[in-house]
Chains A and B, each alone.
Chain A
Amino acid sequence: MFQTSGSRSSYAAGARAILPLSPAVLLFGASFGVLAQSAGFDPVASIAMSATTFAGSAQFAAVSVLGAGGTALAAIAAAVLLNARYGPMGLAAAKAFRGGRPRRALESQLLVDESWALAQQDGRFDIRRMLGAGLVLYASWVGGTALGVAVGSSVGDPATLGLDAAFPALFLALLVPLVHSRRALAAALAGGGIALLLTPITPAGVPVIAATCGVLFGLLPERRREHEARETRARPARQGRPCPGEATS
Chain B
Amino acid sequence: MSTAWIAVLCVGVATVAIKAAGPVLAGERELPLRTGRMVALVGPALLAALVATQALTTDEELVLDERGAGLVAAAGAIALRAPLIVVVLVAAAAAALLRVIT
Interface residues of A (CB under 8 A from B): 17, 20-21, 24, 36, 39-42, 45, 48-49, 52-55, 58-59, 62, 66, 71-72, 75-76, 79-80, 83-95, 97, 101, 104-105, 107-109, 111, 113, 117, 120, 123, 159-176, 178-179, 183-185, 187-196, 199-200, 202-204, 207-208, 211-219, 245, 248-249
Contact = CB atoms under 8 A, between A and B. Distances in A.
B54 to A, nearest CB: 4
Interface in B1-47: 2-8, 10-16, 18-27, 31, 34, 36-47
Contact of A160 (B10, B42, B96): B96
Contact of A166 (B13, B26, B91): B91
Nearest to A194: B49
Nearest to A158: B92
Contact of B49 (A92, A159, A195): A195
Nearest to A124: B40
Report, as a range, how many residues of chain B touch the other chain. Answer: 35 or more
Main secondary structure of the interface of B (DSSP, over half): helix
Nearest to A179: B44
A93 B18 CA distance: 13
A169 B67 CA distance: 9
A183 B39 CA distance: 12
Contact of A214 (B14, B45, B53): B45
Given A165-B55, A168-B54, A214-B45, A95 B27 contact: yes
Contacts of A219: 34, 37-38
A184 B91 CA distance: 25
Given A94-B25, A120-B47, 19 more contacts: A20-B84, A40-B3, A42-B4, A48-B12, A72-B6, A76-B10, A86-B18, A91-B22, A95-B27, A109-B19, A159-B99, A165-B67, A168-B51, A169-B92, A172-B75, A172-B87, A199-B61, A213-B45, A248-B37
B61 A162 contact: no
Contact of B14 (A20, A76, A111, A211): A76
A54 B15 contact: yes
Interface string B52-84: 111111011110001101110111001000001
The 6 closest A-B pairs by CB, nearest first: A90-B22, A165-B70, A214-B45, A162-B96, A169-B91, A52-B12
A209 to B, nearest CB: 9
Contact of B62 (A175, A187, A200): A200
B38 to A, nearest CB: 4
A165 B71 contact: yes
A171 B11 contact: no
Contacts of A216: 38
B100 to A, nearest CB: 9
Contacts of A199: 53, 57, 60-62
Nearest to A65: B7
Contact of A171 (B12, B23, B54): B54
